[in-house]
Homo-oligomer: A and B are copies of this chain.
């Protein structure tokens, strides 16, 4: 697929914009973008726990939900960009072949499980993703623990 370092920067920038949008709404700053290999953005979204009292609209789920119903083959031609990875099951269900992750320092998703299912994973270790998330966790630790199911 013709994804490149440049298109990955564009995809992650858009995901980060979603994360900032959520932060500015008082929400958890995780954003995601579903991008087709021809450059079409199919869906964008961000964590909606606080904004919509949602227990399931994490970043990637939100982007998938906003993309609406797609034919199964479309997902197989996509990359998911997320500032932080959490929605392993959805990536595997739809057989999305590439996942670009902003950072995995504040939270590590199930990268090994994804890799063992042949998902191509790129971790950008992006400073902006890390610092935005770190700031939120310091400000609202309880909301963050709720989001990751930690007591």
**A residues lining the B interface (CB < 8 Å):** 49, 53-57, 61, 64-65, 67-73, 75-76, 86-90, 93-95, 110, 113, 145-146, 148-151
Contacts and interface: CB of A to CB of B under 8 A. Distances in A.
A30 to B, nearest CB: 14
Nearest to A69: B53
B86 A149 contact: no
Given A56-B56, A69-B146, 19 more contacts: A53-B68, A54-B65, A54-B69, A55-B64, A55-B70, A55-B94, A56-B64, A56-B90, A61-B61, A71-B146, A72-B145, A72-B149, A72-B150, A73-B151, A89-B89, A93-B149, A94-B149, A95-B149, A113-B113
5 contacts: A54-B65, A54-B69, A55-B69, A72-B151, A73-B151
A103 to B, nearest CB: 19
